Amino acid sequence: MRPQVVNFSLTPRPYKLSVSHCAAIDCPCTFATFEFQATTDVVDAGFDRSVRQAQDVPAGDVPAAFEIKVDAATWHEHEPRPGRPAAETAMAREFLRDYPRSERQALKERLEKKQRIANRFLEYRISPREISITLPWSQLASEDGSVMMGGTSVSFTFNHQGTEYSIEDLYCPHPQCECDRAQLVFFKCLPGATPDDPGKAVQFFDAGVSLTAGTRQVGKCFRATPEEAAGILAAWWEHEANPLDELKWRYKKTKEVGQRSLPAAGGRRAGRAAQPRRPGASRWVDTDAPEPDDFSPLQALTPIRAAATPGRNEKCPCGSGKKYKKCCGR
């Protein structure tokens, strides 16, 4: 179990511990940041060691707060802060030496999985047919693929009034389509279901998000009433602390995959050369709370196959409102 409080041999004060790591799906780093904050109002739940005051380090040098960045793959500190006090250096070394091996391994496996996904994402291409349909984000980003296309992953999960929901967000990958829209599909997990239960979840309703205006609108309701769907959509939006920036970023990355997949990209070699090794900025997420997987597996959802390519005069499935021939079918 990951310690929440750490004691150091240089000071009797315990330190609250928080951990964060890079969550950018296209960043292959395996770095984690450990943050320490001295406190007096917590019970010792950290490392079991006697507390003693070192004789060769002045008490005034002991920091009230500090952080260290660690490469989880090697368990070495990454670029220590220049000129930091001797006490801080000693505490960092002590922490790295005594941190539980089981937690080291768990963090390493978690970040190595992210690294595998990042490497996959840099090479990922879709078929010409998929250029013209909206694609679930987890189909692009997860090793296991989306439940909507025969895989086992979803993008989001949350609990609302005692009921578990899972959500898939879909985007149009055609680089020439300016729909600027995310489609959300909500699944309701059935009461008492286990992860391997064939009745784990049912498609409840879908919704659309304008990435330009930030507005949200309930679409087709399968088993939910419009009022119920609107309440769940609003609750999820609040639960995710306004995910508009995240949805915009995913839309952009989906378009990059679409651009890379076009025949005009010059094939596999040219497409790979045109892509930066580490596009986008890293985003850091707090991992103090219980950690669901980056892409929560949902084994038992019935796969929802992508619709066939629409007729040229039919509405474009990306949700733009245009005819297919004037939108993604161009």
* Segment-wise mean pLDDT, segments of 10 residues, the chain, 330 residues: 82 91 77 91 46 45 92 92 91 94 89 78 81 89 83 88 92 92 93 57 94 95 96 96 92 90 57 36 41 38 45 68 68
pLDDT of residue 140: 86
pLDDT of residue 214: 94
Distance, in Å, from the CA atom of 122 to the CA atom of 25, rounded to the nearest integer, reads 10
Distance, in Å, from the CA atom of 206 to the CA atom of 187, rounded to the nearest integer, reads 9
The parent domain of residue 149 ranges over 128-264+295-326
Split into its structural domains, the chain has a count of 2
What is the DSSP annotation of 131-152?
A: GGS-EEHHHHH-TT-BGGGT-S
Is 149 inside any structural domain?
yes
Q: Are residues 192 and 240 in the same domain?
A: yes
Is 116 inside any structural domain?
no
Distance, in Å, from the CA atom of 107 to the CA atom of 104, rounded to the nearest integer, reads 5
Is 92 inside any structural domain?
yes
Q: Residue 176: count other Cβ atoms within 10 Å of its Cβ.
A: 13
Q: Which residue, among 121, 114, 115, has the nearest Cα to 257 in the 3D structure?
A: 121
Q: Are residues 82 and 197 in the same domain?
A: no
What is the DSSP annotation of 270-311?
A: HHHHHS-SS-S---EEE--S----SS-B-TTPPP-PPPPPPP
Q: Are residues 52 and 151 in the same domain?
A: no
Q: Are residues 175 and 40 in the same domain?
A: no
Q: Which residue, among 158, 161, 124, has the nearest Cα to 139 in the 3D structure?
A: 124
Q: Are residues 103 and 237 in the same domain?
A: no
pLDDT of residue 27: 77
Is 245 inside any structural domain?
yes
pLDDT of residue 317: 61
pLDDT of residue 60: 57
Residue 264, classified by CB atoms within 10 Å of its CB into exposed (0-12), middle (13-18) or buried (19+), is exposed
Is 289 inside any structural domain?
no
User: Which three-class secondary structure state does DSSP give residue 183?
Assistant: strand
pLDDT of residue 34: 94
pLDDT of residue 248: 95
Q: Which of 51, 83, 110 is the last residue of a domain?
A: 110
Q: Are residues 57 and 178 in the same domain?
A: no
Q: Which of 83, 110, 137 is the last residue of a domain?
A: 110
> For residue 94, what are the contacts with CB-CB under 8 A and spacing of at least 6?
8, 9
Q: Read off the pTM.
A: 0.58
pLDDT of residue 44: 44
User: Which three-class secondary structure state does DSSP give residue 260?
Assistant: helix
pLDDT of residue 187: 93
Is 222 inside any structural domain?
yes
Q: Are residues 303 and 190 in the same domain?
A: yes
Q: Are residues 144 and 50 in the same domain?
A: no
Asked if 37 and 13 touch (Cβ cutoff 8 Å), the reply is: no
Q: Are residues 216 and 302 in the same domain?
A: yes
Distance, in Å, from the CA atom of 281 to the CA atom of 26, rounded to the nearest integer, reads 9
Q: Are residues 13 and 159 in the same domain?
A: no
* CA 211 from centroid of its chain's CA atoms: 19
> For residue 208, what are the contacts with CB-CB under 8 A and spacing of at least 6?
181, 182, 183, 184, 216, 217, 219, 319
Residue 89, classified by CB atoms within 10 Å of its CB into exposed (0-12), middle (13-18) or buried (19+), is middle
Q: Are residues 84 and 197 in the same domain?
A: no
pLDDT of residue 324: 63
Is 280 inside any structural domain?
no
Phi-psi group of 241: left, alpha or beta (phi > 0 → left; psi -120 to 50 → alpha; rest → beta):
left
pLDDT of residue 328: 64
Is 286 inside any structural domain?
no
pLDDT of residue 118: 76
Q: Residue 244: count other Cβ atoms within 10 Å of its Cβ.
A: 17
